Amino acid sequence: MKRLGRIRLSHGRSKEEFNDFLRKLELQAIETAEERIPLYLRVGIKEANLILDVGCGSGMVTRDIASLTKGRVVGVDGSQEMIDVATVILGEYTNVDLLVGDAHAIPFCDNTFDVTTCNLLLMWSRDPQKVVNEMARVTKKGGVVLASLEPDYGGKIHWPENPTVDPIFAGEAIKRRGGDPHIGRKLRALFVKAGLETEVGIGNSRIWSCEED
């Protein structure tokens, strides 16, 4: 991971806790790339001129998108802290712009982007329907709105069995942190209500823990 220098911590974390958090994000981005990248290629990110990554966070997933396209990539996140991190992570990419913005009120005009994407965002959104509506609004007619890796812990089957990795326990931990561990089963309804032609897929994934502090 690149040296991040002095980034103001706004969530009460110590420097060590924050660095550990970023290492987990980096590992997650690396280990989910094989699920995400085929989706990006399928929806035409390689050919797109303008792409929006909503809830870009640290920029580690945005980096994969920027690596696949010659088009312009815009990353938006509600946290200045995360945008500061992403600015460092994506410093070598000349085709990326980053700004602070609310996924519930995306700061762009209607019909702006060829592809609008988010990754593991809706599960943490206070109003996922509003987020999907906003993603649809800023996407051009004929463009693509993609939500990747949104989980459904109620449908997870873990094999071989491992008592230390329990989908129910992980789901309850997500709930305690304000997330929705069953957002996956709601995706079709969210997208249809936003007026989008919808395709939902199911894939394999590892369980990522959400432990209490």
Tens-of-pLDDT digits for all 213 residues of the chain?
554 554 555 555 688 888 888 888 888 888 899 999 999 999 999 999 999 999 999 999 999 999 999 999 999 999 999 999 999 999 999 999 999 999 999 999 999 999 999 999 999 999 999 999 999 999 999 999 999 999 988 766 666 666 655 555 566 778 787 789 999 999 999 999 999 999 999 876 665 544 444
Angle among Cα 120, 124, 126 to the nearest 5 degrees reads 140
**What is the per-residue pLDDT for 15?**
80
pTM score of the predicted model = 0.84
107-149 pLDDT, tens digit each = 999 999 999 999 999 999 999 999 999 999 999 999 999 999 9
CATH class given for the domain over 15-149 = alpha beta
CA angle 36, 50, 113 (to 5 degrees): 90
The reported pLDDT for the residue numbered 90 is: 96
Q: Return the amino acid letter for 101.
A: G
What is the residue extent of each domain of the chain?
A: 15-149
Residue 138 is classified by DSSP as T
| Tokens describing residue 98 | 């980053």
Burial group, residue 117, by CB count within 10 angstroms (0-12, 13-18, 19+): buried
Residues 6 or more apart whose CB falls under 8 angstroms from that of 85 comprise 4, 7, 22, 57, 58, 59
